[in-house]
Structure 1
Amino acid sequence: MQGTPYVYQGEEIGMTNVQFPLEEYEDIEVRNAYQDLVVKNKTISEDDFRKAVWNKSRDNARVPMQWDDSENAGFTTGKPWFRLSDRYQEINVKKALEKNDSMFYYYKDLICLRHEEELLTEGDYQLLLPEDEKIFAYLRTSDKEQWIVVANLSEDMVSTEGLVKYVSDKEDIKIANYKDRTGIKADLRPYEAFMMRIR
């Protein structure tokens, strides 16, 4: 997309939201909302509130960076200000750098494409399938070329039938998170995304 991209700490290695007990959250908004919504007004159950916190809390982005699988994830030799994610031994920078197909290298490739391909920041934008709840797709067009960007935002297999009409003979995959993607016609796998030059 146009604009300034942000990569929040840990996204580039696939760090996940934490699921701590509510009393371990430092976010003052979480603490205040708990008192207001659960204790005082009883407008939401504690279980539903906990699930919302696990999904939305700012503290998800405040856990220490997971550098490796050593004590405290290699973040500090002291005591970190906030508890570590329970998954730091499987998700960390060291492991990401060891795998050529890791999320880290995918992010790196995306950033390189953004710097190298003027079309991605300067080309005209056309949203495709605006009513589709699972597919986010759009065209980027310049005088010289056109790309299609497609993402399946669900955990389901999804047909690309509604997108086929936008692609003619040229199907030049520029980047894909499933490396065997070669064209538009195959169904989208869960959370599959790709960019393809089509003109």
Structure 2
Amino acid sequence: MQQTDMHYEVVVVGGGAAGLSGAVVLARARRRVLVIDAGRPRNARAEGVHSYLTRDGMPPGELVAVGREEVRGYGGAIRDGEVVRIGRDGEVFTVALADGTRVSADRLLVTTGLVDELPPVPGLAERFGRDALHCPYCHGWEVRGEPIAVLATGPMAVHQALLWRQWSETVTVLRHTAAPFGAEDAERLAARGIAVVD
């Protein structure tokens, strides 16, 4: 592993909206900050970012570019790369990147986000983030009033269906691989007019 003498007060692992927001706050507080980003945001396929004040509908890549410039404008640093290992030597964190470089930091802010594990349904991955949606708060407004189907693969399906009902009067649960619903869940779905297809 290549050694470097680059030391930061804070290394931010993950350069999406959360990581860049944190980095801006820290850089404005005159902290020596580095953001390391692998460039694989969860929302990359989405047409726009939603429910983000003043940026609603902005393409995700554009939001990241603007955020990076804000971080740099306050003296923060941005590095493209993948963190492969984090260690600790006393009070100092060491962060190893896939290219062999290493940086150190007094503190870490880990904002790597989530990775969606999609069920193996042909065509789903290609439509994910566009018309196969995961979050009613992120995408509900765009499909409001449209018929919505919830692909049930686990116990959260009932909760998801009840949430989506806020945006559409026509919600159907497709009980794909989810276990049969209990009486209480079936009653909750029926009370909101949500159909279930086994």
More strand by share: 2
Same fold (TM over 0.5): no
Q: Higher relative contact order by CA 8 Å / sep ≥ 6: 1 or 2?
A: 2
TM-score, normalised by the number of residues in structure 2: 0.30
**Structure with greater proportional helix content:** 1
